[in-house]
Amino acid sequence: MSTIIDLTAPMFDGAPTMPMDPKMSLTWHCSLDTLGYNLSRLTTSTHQGTHMDAAKHFYKDGECIDEVSLDRCIVRAVKADLTGKKPGDPIEPADLEPYEKFIGQGPARGTGILLHTGWDKKFPDQSFFSGFPYVTKGLADWFTEKKAGLVGMDMPTPNGTDWKYVHIKMLGAGILIVEGLANMERLPWDTLFTFYSLPLKLQGRDGSPVRAIAIAD
C-alpha cells in the first residue's frame, strides 16, 4: 500500500517571511454571526511557506507559474540526506554524487532531487531565514549539467549570498525550484518516490505556494 507524506509547511496569520517580503495575513472577512457563513481573507506573497519558483522570478520574459506544465510538477524524485550539514555549511556536488545514479530515471526533464537538511525544524522561528546550509554556485552548475528537472529543499532559499547566480543558473536551465519543504525525515531514502508540488494558477506571476506531498511506493 502507498503512503502519502505531507511535505508542506503550515500557513497561518503572521507566519514569518523573508525580511523584504510582504507579511502574511489570514483573517476572518465574515462569520456565521455576521453574514451567515464563514469566509477568510488571505494576503500573502507568491513565495510564502512551501512554494515554487518559476523562471519569471528572475527573468523579465521568463516562464510564468501558470505556464509551467503540470507534468513537471509531478515527478519521480529522490531524497538526498544532508542532515549531517551544520548551519552555514556549503552543499557541494560531492554531497550529491551518491544520488547521481537516480538522475535520468525520470521523464525527459530529469528526476527531482529533494535536499533534506532538517532546517525546516527551525520554522516558524525567524532564525529559519538565516544561517542555513546552502547550495553553492558549483552545485547549481552541477544540477544544470545533470539536467535535473526539479530541485526541492527544506531551506527558505537555495543560497542567502549568491542567491542571484544560483536562481538564474537553475531557473534558466528549466529547473523548477521548490523551497520551504517540511517533514522530509518521513521520506524513504535510497529509492525513488513520486513527488507532487502543484502551484496555484496565478496568471503571469513569478511563483506560488504549493501543497507538496510525496507518495512512497
Strand partners, 5: 214
Confidence grade of residue 82 (pLDDT, cut at 50, 70, 90): very high
Q: 209: cis peptide before it, omega within 30°? A: no
Return the axis-axis angle of helices 163-172 and 137-145, rounded to nearest 10°.
0
pLDDT of residue 108: 45
Strand partners, 28: 40
Q: Which residue in this structure is represented by grid cell 523548477? A: 176
Q: What is the pLDDT of residues 139-164, one digit of tens each?
A: 999 999 999 999 999 999 999 999 99
Q: What cell was used for 108?
A: 525527459
For residue 51, the surrounding DSSP H or E stretch is: strand 51-53
Per DSSP bridges, beta strands 74-81 and 193-199 are antiparallel
Are 17 and 177 a contacting pair, CB within 8 Å? no
Are 80 and 114 a contacting pair, CB within 8 Å? yes
Q: Greatest CA separation found in the chain?
A: 59
Burial class (CB in 10 A: 0-12, 13-18, 19+), 60: exposed
Q: What is the pLDDT of residues 36-56, one digit of tens each?
A: 999 999 999 999 999 999 999
Q: Which residue in this structure is represented by grid cell 502543484? A: 198
Question: How much of the chain is helix, strand and coil, in % rounded to 5?
Answer: 25, 30, 50
Are 192 and 77 a contacting pair, CB within 8 Å? yes
Q: Is 104 helix (H, G, I), strand (E, B) or coil?
A: coil
* pLDDT > 70 fraction of the chain, expressed in percent and rounded: 97
Pairwise CA distance, residues 50 & 8, whole Å:
6
Q: Which domains does the chain have, with CATH numbers?
A: 3-8+46-216 (3.50.30.50)
Q: What is the pLDDT of residues 84-117, one digit of tens each?
A: 999 999 999 999 999 998 886 554 456 899 999 9
Per DSSP bridges, beta strands 112-116 and 74-81 are parallel
